[in-house]
Amino acid sequence: MKSLLIAVILGSALLGACVTAPAPGTQEGATPPRLSMQDKMAVWDNVGSFGPVPAARAALGAQTCSKLDTMEAHFMASGYHSRAQGLDGKTLAEGGFYCVRK
């Protein structure tokens, strides 16, 4: 019985490690992220290509991500890419922010 319990706990721990949300990298990647439509929502591909939000862009990131706020959820910028692309594949003038729930 103990070995079965240990196997279940270990299996759950490994599954939890595999099911993590995508996150920005430690630096901006060479391949820019691009917006695409999934389930009628615009989402970023290549999330790992986002780097940290530069201090000079923090206020713009906060403003941009706050546009996603609802009564139940508030968002903040956790990543930035200077050459992020819009749905049309063109580079966004202000770059792109990866927004996450606070």
Domain residue ranges in the chain: 22-101
Residues 54-67 have a mean pLDDT of 97
Task: Return all residues near 99 (Cβ < 8 A) that are at least 6 apart.
Answer: 64, 65, 68, 75, 76, 77, 78
- For the chain, counts of helices (H) and of strands (E): 2, 4
Confidence class for position 100, pLDDT limits 50, 70, 90: very high
Beta bridge partners of 34: 85
Task: Return all residues near 26 (Cβ < 8 A) that are at least 6 apart.
Answer: 51, 52
Of the two residues 101 and 21, the one the predictor is more confident about is 101
pLDDT digits (tens, 9 = 90+) for 11-51: 333 334 445 567 898 999 999 999 999 999 999 999 999 99
